[in-house]
Structure 1
């Protein structure tokens, strides 16, 4: 059978590679490729999900109970909250709502690998602004890249896959440079892992009321451990979220996902204890990798970044051979999720052997 597409498809879509999920791990390997929470769900969360047995019925299309619970937390109205099947689904909805042919969307690069595809699917043009040498957003350059064609800007903090945050002061200065009618998405998928007191906080941005063009995105996939249920949310101006709701695939958030998210909010203290454990492992891993000579960005997510560059494929193969499934980005680097304690020990062991294969002047090495 020919590999040619047998029907007419938009050329930019035909050329767009499908989203590549982090590689799955076998029974004898650790999956550190998708930034998942390594802990099993809490019994109370499992119980709440299993009590929802009416799978022959459609779910509440707006996940209204979850919207109201989150609205109360954020001090906003329920229409100022939108629930989606993961925060990435809401980004897709907002791209379709805000941008089309001839429009541009600005974001840092490298950042979340879904951004380019979501922009192209909307018919718009991605504008990728290189990260600073320390793997942080170059917000001055991003502001300078905004033109009359710019319809949206995405700020990912902590940045996936490199890890650094945008500070509150940096974001406050940046948003003043953005036209008031340009949508700004503050993607905070890893916010619960942040310990830096200077980090931007989407809740604070929203509470100021000064920038109604900002929408904050968060998810239950990472810190709350519900990646397999696909539930995330956005908080912002209700008319912007109405536009997202208009482009959303109806009924995409299951009743089981809503129940699990509500139960997770009720069990938040226990879940955040687990987050603290992951943060401790992260900080310990960063310290040990730096002691080996790695140049590790100041990560605030639940992952670390190795800037292995041209050696990325070989380095990832070394980890995989040791039963560690990591996320390689060919030509750039490797993202490694912080997983089980045994996995962390194995990462340290293999990283020591990998750095020995890199030249002394390699950018992944810290300057002595």
Structure 2
């Protein structure tokens, strides 16, 4: 039978002339709360010299389980529990083993986990390994989503009824037409800066006239498409991620899937197709704006008239440079749109997730664009284009 909760399970006995702590009754889960209250009252006196000498009477102890053993450890502490767990304490072997096991477990739980010290080199390689694993995982996900998008595009290409022309036109207006002012202004200013820098260096060699070649060559092959792609990565990829992320949080995408509609066909493909149309057009406008900015500075600062500028441009700059720059635009457009949509699809849970994935879409888009541009530059150089 269990001991009533209001009975004394702990008491001091001084009848023998020596103060002894008497433990009696059932130390089980049923009396766990009552034991905690009585221990709180007696704990300040248990650690004195009398109790430390081992004057503890356990002969009245009734039933004992792990909860009662934990209360004994709480009352006596590890040192006294070790004393009463010896063979001379009057406890059975089973109870001594139980006390020792519970004491070891509670001592281990009380000790803070010791973190194994690692060297700086091991820590460096560990972080590099984690970063490489994360990069590989992101690359694998991106390639899978690219394949999924291309599959959906191929299935819809020869089915005009599945084309979302209204959505595509609306996205072209948002991603292309609305971006024309900022694209033209930025490239115009960069073209002017390129001419200033080029003229400063070339003037020392008496070759100021070659500033025309520098600015036209740079914008036709590299700067126009690269600056436009970076701006679109910051402007459009983030928009795609925020839009799809908000729809994901509001469970609109889940509702589409429940209705048997494909989110890729409805949401991803219109954005990809719109950017495939917009980015080459914006790149062409960026080339014109950059060259006009350079021509203006040449006319005002270098005494190179617009007629002379156009004559040099016509005679010395080959058409292939224009095609080299324009060939990169569709690739950059596809990559930016896919990354922006992918990060939007990965949003889950909260507005914080939207912010994180929006940032990730911009960073990843710019990184991939610059990486592809570097690879393309090496390829064209080796091919002699």
TM-score range relative to shorter protein:
under 0.3
Query: TM-score with structure 2 length normalisation?
Result: 0.19
Higher percent of residues as strand = 1
Higher percent of residues as helix = 2
